[in-house]
């Protein structure tokens, strides 16, 4: 029986390269001269330190621009709440989503079943396995998920006949 996996993976090497480019751009930009704004990454969490909310928003735009140039979708970023640091400066943690969370997986299974496609969907850890009798049914599910979009970018891999 044909099957494929629905996964959500982020290339961490590309994210680290984008962070390095953001750091370089912050050091060169005129509007960041004399500011103590920094962007650092540890494992799968980015920490943004900025002088004020305006600079934080500018760093968000720079970060998303560099990620999109490196073909990493901005949907992988999960912005946490903004914390006040020393003085007027602010700090924000941004986690990078890896894998499909349980709640999202259950929601996707429900939506796929609502399409009445003749497929079975199973949650396997942080990915979904979709199986069906016909390749066309699986392609319909892929088209449906691509069209639907969502809060997290999805990839389709391990397609087997």
Reported as a single tens digit per residue, the pLDDT across 12-57 is: 898 899 999 999 999 898 988 888 888 999 888 999 998 888 888 9
Q: Are 59 and 77 in contact (CB under 8 A)?
A: no
Reported as a single tens digit per residue, the pLDDT across 74-127 is: 888 888 988 887 788 899 999 998 888 888 888 888 888 888 888 888 888 888
DSSP label of 160: E
Ranges of each domain in the chain:
3-8+99-160, 12-96
CATH domain 3-8+99-160 topology: Alpha-Beta Plaits (3.30.70)
Reported as a single tens digit per residue, the pLDDT across 122-155 is: 888 888 888 888 888 888 888 888 888 777 788 8
Distance between CA atoms of residues 68 and 71, nearest Å: 5
Same topology between domain 3-8+99-160 and domain 12-96: yes
Q: Please give the model's pTM, rounded to 2 decimal places.
A: 0.79
Distance between CA atoms of residues 143 and 61, nearest Å: 30
Helix axes 12-28, 53-69, angle to 10 degrees: 130
CATH domain 12-96 topology: Alpha-Beta Plaits (3.30.70)
User: Reduced to 3 DSSP states, what percent helix, strand and coil does the chain have, rounded to the nearest 5?
Assistant: 40, 30, 30
Q: Identify the pLDDT of residue 117.
A: 81
User: How many angstroms separate the Cα of 90 from the Cα of each of 61, 76, 82, 109, 118?
Assistant: 16, 22, 7, 39, 51
């Amino acid at each position: 029986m044909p099957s494929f996996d629905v996964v959500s993976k982020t290339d961490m090497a590309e994210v680290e390269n984008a962070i390095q480019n953001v750091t370089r751009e912050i050091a060169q930009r005129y509007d960041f001269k004399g500011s103590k704004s920094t962007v650092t990454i540890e494992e799968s969490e980015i920490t943004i330190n900025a002088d004020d909310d305006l600079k934080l928003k500018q760093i968000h735009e720079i970060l998303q621009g560099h990620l999109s140039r490196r073909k990493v979708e901005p949907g992988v970023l999960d912005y946490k709440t903004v914390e006040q640091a020393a003085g007027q400066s602010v700090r924000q943690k941004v986690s990078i989503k890896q894998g499909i969370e349980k709640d999202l997986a259950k929601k996707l299974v429900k939506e796929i079943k609502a399409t009445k496609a003749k497929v079975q969907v199973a949650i396997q850890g942080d990915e979904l396995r979709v199986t069906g009798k016909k390749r066309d049914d699986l392609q319909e599910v892929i088209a449906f998920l691509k069209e639907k979009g969502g809060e997290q970018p999805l990839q389709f891999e391990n397609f087997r006949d």
